[in-house]
Structure 1
Amino acid sequence: MDWLQVIVLAAVQGFTEFLPVSSSAHLILIPALTPWGDQGLAFDVALHLGSLLAVMAYFRRDLAAMGRSSLAAMAGRGVDAEARLALAVVLATLPVCAIGFVLHDVIEGQLRVTPVIAAAMIGFGLLLGYADRGGNGRRDEYSLRGRDIAIIGLAQALALIPGTSRSGITMTAALLLGLGREAAARFSFLLSIPVIVLAGGMEAMTLSRQAAPIDWSALAWGTVLAGISAYFCIRLFLAVITRLGMQPFVVYRLVLGVWLLWLFYG
């Protein structure tokens, strides 16, 4: 891999992992618009590691509080809001794990095609716009109850369809349940942690069975650059989302979805 490819792929992964615009749609554009071939599984693992480190660094205080409260709850010292939030993250992750395990081959084979990605970009983009239409809700992530967690968890499973956007669909569900934009984004970002860990772990297991040579320098720089871009993406998004709203991302998704159809079938 040349250095321009490393920089572009890391930046694209870092930003699109957390914005509601679908990283899969962007990553299929790169080989389509450049002479670069597939970057390989090892580099994918490195990019996911960078994204994981970024979101954990940004939410380090929240994660520490959730961890302390969860340990206190397991020791019988009561369940507070932080412990309930930690449990919500765990429970909302279960549907995507179960469905992803059962339908892995279908998702990676039959669904990873341009018409599906473009349709998901457009359809779920419109749904995001509808969810955001009423402005900012008043609930925060600590107000989630069992029904809310189940709905967001099932919505996250829809992100197994390429082009949906994991962050986009979980924010959509949270907005429809009355959460404010910032709260919806925060819970979506917290949900990304176990999902990235599990997805990266599966990729790492597959990689361990391959004998292909590994460019460790490219992997290290990819991890660092993806982490930096992801961290600043999270910080900027949370700083402006209350005022900006989701509509600019809706328009972007619609334009990109139509362009994908034109690019491959026009």
Structure 2
Amino acid sequence: MLTYLQAAVIGLLQGVSELFPVSSLGHSVLVPAFIGGSWEHLVTESSTSTSETSPYLAFIVALHVATAVALLIFFRKDWIRIISGLLRTIKPSIRARRLVVTDPDERLAWLLIIATIPVGITGLLLEHSFRTLFAKPLAAAIFLTINGLILLAGERLRRNAPTDDTEIPAVPVGDHLEPAAAGRHTAAEPAADQVLRPARRLATLSYREAGVIGFFQTFALLAGISRSGITMVGGLARGLSHRDAARFSFLLATPIILAAGLLKLPGLAGPAGAGIGGQVLLGAVLAGLASYISIKFLTRYFETRTLMPFAIYSLVAGIICIIRFA
């Protein structure tokens, strides 16, 4: 039976780790297994071939819905513009028999749709197989370590990514980044390889690039690979700033998490949800609150900061867990 303490701990853990680039699925496997005792059965029952009737899996699904609701609330103004933009394109596109996009909101709507397709198809076909094969402590620890390497690679790729020449290059000033004055070149300026290359605007992504970023997200079906992290790396590789890569990642995660959760939420009405209604409610409330606070923090954090701390955490935690479960 899922206890209230377990529900509270896993709820808070889900709310934070779903949006921080450290893999919520990996942590929902590793933390109970690391604690052991009565917690360990939560992991074993959710990775079996009969896991669809698992109370823990049903509980995790409810937490995902709570996270998606928090994302919707935080980005509600963005989603109103995105949905309005999508609706504006439908009639002209049908009439012209081709996609007609006239402003950034309309383009962002279609970028999100295209980026959602790869993970949507893969999730429907392979989610159960991936979970039963790889949602085990040692596998999750290995993939969490790989997640750290992916985040490190993302920072390197950002320095060599395509740029938008309309942007003014940024030079490091203390702990922040400030635009360089146009035409100013002094001996005090940092070397070229220390200057962050100018970022592209989100609206300049091509539909093909959005599809590639969406394909990256399919690897998050592996416990230990972060959905937000790998999506951000995809954006950084195409020249987006950390801020825009994070925003695109959070917007892209919303329909995926919500759809996956709502698809499996009816399981709570069956045997899997019997006797854990209070625990589910507690965990969902805490997950939603933690998610909202995490989004608010991360949207500000990525205005001036990078993925490096999360990469180091993933590497250290992953290696420790590999040693623990090997």
Q: If the length of structure 2 is used for normalisation, what is the TM-score? A: 0.76
Amino acid at match of 1:111: F
> Are the equivalent residues in 1 in contact too, given 2:86–2:109 (CA < 8 A)?
yes
Please identify, of 238-247 and 52-61, the stretch whose mean Cα deviation from structure 2 is larger.
238-247
CA RMSD of aligned residues (A): 2.0
Stretch deviating more after TM superposition (75-84 or 44-53): 75-84
Change (3 A) 1:75 1:169: same
Structure 2 residue ranges without an equivalent (≥5) = 43-54, 94-99, 160-195
Counterpart-to-counterpart distance in 1, 2:258 and 2:126: 19
Within the candidate set 151, 169, 192, 2:253 is matched to: 192
- CA deviations on 1:25-59 (whole Å, 9 max, x unpaired) are 21123322153342623322221121011100110
Residues 264 and 201 (structure 1), Cα distance of their counterparts in 2 relative to 1, 3 Å cut? same
Counterpart check, 1:23 vs 2:24:
yes
Question: 8 Å contact 1:10–1:225 — kept in the other structure?
Answer: yes
Structure 1 CA distance, aligned partners of 2:127 and 2:8? 29
Quote how far apart the aligned CAs of 1:93 are. Answer: 0.9
Q: Does the 8 Å contact 1:136/1:179 carry over to 2?
A: no
Aligned to 1:142: 203
105-114 or 157-166, which deviates more: 105-114
CA distance in 2, matches of 1:248, 1:62: 28
Deviation per residue, 1:166-212 (Å, 9 max, x gap): 11110111101100001000000001111112211332244455365
* Sequence identity percentage: 34
Deviation at 1:73, TM superposition (A): 1.6
Distance 1:250 1:98 in 2: 28
- 1:38-92 alpha-carbon deviations (Å, 9 max, x no partner): 2623322221121011100110000001111111222339632111111111111
The alpha-carbon deviation at position 108 of structure 1 amounts to 1.8
Letter in 1 for 2:139: V
- Name the count of aligned residue pairs: 265
Inter-CA distance 3–102: structure 2 relative to 1 (3 Å threshold): closer
Contact 2:119 2:214 in 1 (8 A): yes
- SS of the equivalent of 2:217 reads helix
Deviation at 1:237, TM superposition (A): 0.9
Q: Compute the displacement of 1:104 (Å).
A: 3.1
Instruction: Work out whether residues 25 and 224 of structure 2, in 8 Å CA contact, stay in contact via their aligned partners in 1.
Output: yes
Structure-to-structure mapping, 1:98-113, within 5 angstroms: 98-113=121-136
- Aligned mates of 2:141, 2:272 — CA distance in 1: 34
Is the counterpart of residue 235 in structure 1 residue 296 in structure 2?
Answer: yes
Check the 8 A contact 1:136/1:180 in 2, yes or no: no
Q: Which amino acid aligns with 1:22?
A: S
Counterpart-to-counterpart distance in 2, 1:177 and 1:41: 35
Q: In 2 relative to 1, CA 166–137 (structure 1 residues): closer, same or farther, beyond 3 Å?
A: farther
Q: Residues of 2 paired with 1:236 and 1:4: CA distance? A: 26
Match of 1:127 in 2: 150
8 Å CA contact 1:137–1:175 kept in 2: the answer is no
One-letter amino acid of the counterpart of residue 224, structure 1: V
**Matching residue of 1:7:** 8
Counterpart among 44, 69, 94 of residue 85 in structure 2: 69
Contact 2:63–2:284 (8 Å) recurs in 1: yes
Query: Does the aligned pair in 2 maintain the 1:141–1:186 contact within 8 Å?
Result: no
- Does 1:117 find its partner at 2:140? yes
Structure 1: 5+ residue stretches without partners: none
Distance 1:28 1:41, change over 3 A: closer
Equivalent residue for 1:166? 227
Partner of 1:201: 262
Shifted more, 88-97 versus 118-127: the winner is 118-127
If you compute each CA radius of gyration, which structure gives the higher value, 1 or 2?
Answer: 2
Q: 2 CA distance for matches of 1:218 and 1:119? A: 30
Matches within 5 A, 1:45-56: 45-56=61-72
Does the CA-based 8 Å contact 2:4-2:282 persist in structure 1? no
